[in-house]
């Protein structure tokens, strides 16, 4: 009996090795598109994950190929359409850019409602099932992760020492919910592509621009902007999603491995982003900077009075307008998920 058991174990091991070799000889190839090649998330996480980690972790049975959306010259709103059509198998992107398809995608990163990354993660986790369902129904895609970019703040080539100074200012935004905040603060929202913000600030096309802390620093906004107003008006929350047909073509073992690796990637990205705000703000405002040259922007931190006004704008404008766009059922779902985390309620005016 012992000899029979040994033979059975040896046969099983041989079959396993044969199966692994077969998978490695005919790997699943995942064509992916990432975010921006100049930023940490792509350079340290998205790129290495697809170009190296997947093949290593799967023994060659899953092979990734990734290019950045900036390198491909793609606009954010195009990405999930291309995943739905099978041009890409996997995409990293921002829900704010795909919200034109359906306002439900805005719900995990509504402007100005969260001011710290711990709360933002709770919000993302509370809203994950809603996003998961929306990605499946609208894009035939499987949502696998939600992760953050550094916080989105205001960078101005104008005298801005508090939220009241935003009145009358032309402010660059990239998402509808950011425009709601700007207009609630008395400013005018202007949509400008990221690559065109510096000349827009130089020429006075806009007075301020909204982007992430590290994005502003690495793009050298400090060369044209004078005031760094660090009121958090968003988080640039991002997603990782995969074409559902491609996902279903993978074996159960491959799916399990992919989910485990994605979960680990997600943890690394949340942990790193938590450190980037302080680093970028210090660098851009002339503080200690170990990653490059110091900027000379004036650091303007929100006062308690600013935060009180922000709270009012969040409730009366940002949430109200979003509830109107998304509809009663959508707003009710948000109130029962994210709303419970934040103690807020989205109600259309």
CA pair distance 116, 302, nearest whole angstrom: 13
The pLDDT assigned to 260 comes to: 97
- Asked if 296 and 220 sit in the same domain, the reply is yes
- Asked if 286 and 143 sit in the same domain, the reply is no
Cα 186 → chain centroid: 27
Q: Which domain holds residue 313?
A: 152-235+278-342
Residue located via tokens 């680990």: 264
Mean pLDDT of 276-283: 95
170-173 and 208-212 as β-strands: parallel, antiparallel, unpaired? parallel
- Asked if 80 and 215 sit in the same domain, the reply is no
28-34 and 170-173 as β-strands: parallel, antiparallel, unpaired? unpaired
The pLDDT assigned to 20 comes to: 42
pLDDT tens-digit readout, 259-273:
999 999 999 999 999
Mean pLDDT of 50-63: 97
CATH number where 76 lies: 3.40.190.170
- Asked if 164 and 283 sit in the same domain, the reply is yes
Give me the percent of the chain exceeding a pLDDT of 90.
85
Would 19 be classed as within a structural domain? no
- The answer to whether 192 and 178 are in contact (CB under 8 A) is no
Mean pLDDT of 27-42: 94
Would 287 be classed as within a structural domain? yes
Cα–Cα distances (Å) from 255 to 28, 51, 141, 184, 264, in that order, read 11, 18, 14, 44, 14
- Asked if 35 and 114 sit in the same domain, the reply is yes
Say whether pLDDT at 335 is over 90: yes
- Asked if 112 and 180 sit in the same domain, the reply is no
Say whether pLDDT at 334 is over 70: yes
Would 12 be classed as within a structural domain? no
pLDDT tens-digit readout, 292-305:
999 999 999 999 99
Would 116 be classed as within a structural domain? yes
- Asked if 324 and 229 sit in the same domain, the reply is yes
- Asked if 31 and 140 sit in the same domain, the reply is yes
Would 5 be classed as within a structural domain? no
- Tell me how many domains the chain contains: 2
Q: Could you tell me the pLDDT band of residue 21, with boundaries at 50, 70 and 90?
A: very low
DSSP string, 273-297: HHHHHHHHHHHHTTS--SSS----P
- Asked if 117 and 177 sit in the same domain, the reply is no
| Cross-strand bridge partners of residue 170 | 188
14: which 2 tokens? 């041989």
């Amino acid at each position: 009996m012992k000899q029979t058991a040994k033979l059975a174990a040896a046969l099983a091991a041989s079959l396993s090795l044969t199966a692994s070799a077969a998978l490695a000889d005919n790997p699943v190839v995942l064509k992916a598109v990432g975010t921006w090649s100049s930023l940490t998330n792509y350079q340290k996480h998205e790129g290495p994950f697809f170009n190296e980690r997947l093949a290593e972790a799967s023994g060659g049975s899953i092979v990734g190929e990734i290019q950045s959306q900036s390198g491909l010259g793609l606009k954010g709103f195009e990405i999930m359409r291309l995943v739905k059509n099978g041009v890409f198998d996997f995409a990293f992107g921002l829900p704010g850019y795909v919200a034109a398809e359906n306002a439900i995608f805005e719900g995990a990163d509504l402007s100005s409602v969260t001011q710290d990354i711990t709360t933002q993660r709770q919000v993302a986790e509370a809203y994950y099932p809603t996003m998961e369902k929306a990605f499946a129904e609208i894009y035939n895609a499987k949502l696998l992760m939600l992760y953050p970019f550094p916080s989105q703040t205001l960078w101005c080539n104008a005298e801005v020492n508090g939220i009241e100074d935003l009145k009358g200012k032309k402010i660059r935004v990239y998402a509808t919910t950011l425009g709601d905040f700007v207009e609630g603060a008395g400013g005018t929202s202007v949509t400008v592509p990221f690559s065109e913000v510096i000349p827009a600030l130089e020429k006075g096309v806009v007075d301020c621009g909204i982007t992430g802390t590290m994005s502003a620093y690495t793009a050298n906004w400090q060369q044209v902007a004078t005031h760094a107003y660090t009121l958090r008006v968003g988080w640039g929350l991002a997603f990782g999603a995969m074409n559902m047909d491609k996902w279903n073509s993978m074996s159960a073992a491959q799916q399990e491995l992919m989910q485990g690796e994605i979960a680990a990637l997600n943890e690394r990205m949340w942990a790193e982003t938590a450190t980037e705000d302080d680093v970028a703000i210090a660098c851009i405002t002339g503080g200690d900077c170990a990653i490059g040259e110091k900027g000379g922007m004036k650091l303007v931190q929100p006062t308690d009075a600013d935060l009180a006004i922000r709270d009012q704008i969040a409730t009366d404008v940002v949430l109200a307008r979003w509830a109107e766009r998304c509809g009663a059922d959508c707003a009710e779902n948000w109130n029962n998920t994210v709303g419970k985390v934040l103690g807020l309620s989205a109600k259309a005016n």
